[in-house]
Structure 1
Amino acid sequence: MASIASAAEPGGTPPLERDAEAKVYPTLITRSFTVLYEMQRGGIRGSGEFVWKRTAETYEAHLKGTVAGLALFNWASQGGFDAAGVAPNNYVEKRLGKSAREATFVRGESKIDFSGSAPDIPLVPGTQDRVSWLVQLQAILAADPAKAKAGERVVMPVVGVRGRAEAWVFEISGAESIKTPAGTLNTQKLTRLLHKPEDTRAEVWVEPARQFLPVRIRLTLPPFDAPLDMALVDISG
């Protein structure tokens, strides 16, 4: 179980480079939902949950993984909305047996502060955290479905809790039929293009029929080789 609990962002990298600033895309932000997943990492199985709750002006979201009743990781985001789409104010990352770590988006001062020893970094418009990027990506595709065609790319800055911020560049590889506990789904797959071997590999399968909601998420977080894989069980909301 500890191997899944360790699925968090490695630290020690510089802030977002100047040339990595992302575009500001039109967005169509979805209503509230809850997605339940079957979770697997190596030979360990459990359950995953992605919850998005929004009002007209604010949101709360979390991505959680549980095995045998233990919350191995729980990443939580809360914030609002602006011209760039989802606008996080606070991101908290909890892992089993570890102290919680936090990133605070100080929008009035255009900076991001961290709970550890990492220095603050500039807040680039459109920057997401390790949960909100999933909704921002969905919102960009829902606003412009043509961006879900093979070969298209979506770029957004993403920050964790250790002072690491960088551009996540997603490339759409095209339509893919996948098998999940909820049945066979027609999806579009997006894969993060890696700049460095130690980058987190992020793959997400979105379903156009459900406004591009993430029906499968696979994260490979170095130095761990086995991916954290979550496949759809049910969607409500």
Structure 2
Amino acid sequence: MGSPSKALIPVTGVVLAAHAALLWSLPAADIQPQAKDDQLLMQTRMVEIAPPPPPPPAPAPEPAPKPTPAPRPKPAPKAAPQPRVPAPAPAPEPAAPESESNQALASDTQSPKAPETEANSTQTASAPEPPAPPPPEPEPAEISDGDTAKPMQITPAGSAPLPPGTPLPIALPGGATLEFNASGQVKGFNYSAGAELQWQHDGQYYQARQSISMFLLGERAQTSEGLITPNGLQPLNFIDKGRKTQSASFDLPTGKARFSDGTADAAIAEGVQDRLSVFLQLSALMAAGPERYPQGTVIDLTTSGARSAVRWRFRVGATEALELPIGSVMALRLDKLPGQNKSDQQGAIWLAPTMQYLPVRIRLTQGQDDFVDLKLKKYRPVTQ
């Protein structure tokens, strides 16, 4: 067995031969030797840089003084959310809104666009102001039911009330007896009856009596009597006779209406009427000058019963054709308007020009269900 060095000789020769074959197979590189002077020598050395000194510790900040709390403002009422406005389409056709409550107006597209910010990035449109309603017809000044000390007040349609003391012409109808068919309801009981109005005067004093007679129920009668003045009727006594008799007396010099049942006195003034004379006073006003009271004119006056006095308000209406037991009659309608006291009477009265403006129909309601309706059946003027 040979030595190890001799065994390596053939292996070394094979390796050298393989390297020679590899080198000869590579292409020749274009390498030019550099001059000795052109060669750069680079030397490097390590330099140790000392770290910067640490910064001095910052002093602790002084505590800021506590600000004085401002008073908390009252919260503003929440505004109703506005609808989001869609971007307008090019040249849209105008469309009618479905309803006034859901309209939305887009902002003016010709105005320069403001820069978008967080506050105005979402545009909203303000709701349009609703159109102003048409002005209502002028109404007379409100008079409370308790203002019984005020004189009669006339408010022509569309005008201010006439000044107190304005002279009003009067034309009292001549004496007459009027018979009516009466129907109505009292506390759920329907009835029909006969009624009569007797009216007479001598130019200085007057008397009026109205009665309603019902079978098995007897008669109820109201009587008014008093003076005739340049302003019309001035009642002195009013009597209401039914199951019991009650009355009221009127003392204009002291401005008091006194009641027989002991109720406190009521304040009154010129123009006061009772619940029967009031219809005849309206007849005298209309007969003297119907052109002074165009449709819509309101007449306010104190009207007293046997236990209390309130303000009654009548509004002049149109002339209507009525079919009554006496036949067809043209009559001027005056509506009795409701007062503040819901239990007070309301209704209407019709005055016939062909019968001296005497009432040919009277309808009054009391509460929700009770009413009485008188329709003229016979008219008999009294001959002097």
TM-score, structure 1 length as denominator? 0.85
Which digits, 9 at most, give the CA deviation of each residue in 1:176-201, with x for residues without a partner? 11111001111111111112222211
Instruction: Give the alignment partner of residue 316 of structure 2, picking from 172, 175, 181.
Output: 172
Q: Unaligned 5+ residue runs, structure 2?
A: 1-143, 154-164
- The separation in 2 between residues aligned to 1:140 and 1:126, in whole angstroms, is 12
Specify the code of the residue in structure 1 equivalent to 2:193. Answer: G
Q: CA deviation at 1:75?
A: 0.7
Specify the code of the residue in structure 2 equivalent to 1:227. Answer: F
Q: CA deviation at 1:226?
A: 3.2
Q: Do the aligned residues in 2 keep the contact of 1:86 with 1:128 (CA within 8 Å)? A: yes
Partner of 2:172: 29
Greater radius of gyration (CA): 2
- Runs of 4+ aligned residues of structure 1 deviating over 6 Å after TM superposition are none
1:1-237 matches, within 5 Å, as 16-17=146-147, 20-23=150-153, 25-42=168-185, 43-68=190-215, 71-95=218-242, 97=243, 99-162=244-307, 164-196=308-340, 197-222=342-367, 225-237=369-381
Q: Do the aligned residues in 2 keep the contact of 1:159 with 1:166 (CA within 8 Å)? A: yes
Provide the secondary structure at the position in 1 that maps to 2:330: strand
- The separation in 2 between residues aligned to 1:52 and 1:161, in whole angstroms, is 20
Which stretch shows the higher mean deviation, 18-27 or 120-129? 18-27
Provide the secondary structure at the position in 2 that maps to 1:109: coil
Which stretch shows the higher mean deviation, 165-174 or 57-66? 165-174
Which digits, 9 at most, give the CA deviation of each residue in 1:47-66, with x for residues without a partner? 11111111121111111111
* Shift in CA distance, 154/15, structure 1 to aligned 2, threshold 3 Å: closer
Provide the secondary structure at the position in 1 that maps to 2:284: helix
Provide the secondary structure at the position in 1 that maps to 2:274: coil
Q: CA deviation at 1:18?
A: 6.2
Provide the secondary structure at the position in 2 that maps to 1:195: coil
Q: Do the aligned residues in 2 keep the contact of 1:64 with 1:71 (CA within 8 Å)? A: no
> Aligned residues: percent identity?
25
* Shift in CA distance, 40/66, structure 1 to aligned 2, threshold 3 Å: same
Q: What number of residue pairs does the alignment pair up? A: 220
Q: CA deviation at 1:15?
A: 7.5
* Shift in CA distance, 105/18, structure 1 to aligned 2, threshold 3 Å: closer
User: Which structure has the highest strand share of the two?
Assistant: 1
* Shift in CA distance, 18/204, structure 1 to aligned 2, threshold 3 Å: closer
Q: CA deviation at 1:17?
A: 1.0
Specify the code of the residue in structure 1 equivalent to 2:265. Answer: D
Task: Compute the RMSD of aligned alpha carbons.
Answer: 2.0
- The separation in 2 between residues aligned to 1:18 and 1:44, in whole angstroms, is 34
- The separation in 2 between residues aligned to 1:209 and 1:180, in whole angstroms, is 14
Q: Do the aligned residues in 2 keep the contact of 1:148 with 1:188 (CA within 8 Å)? A: no
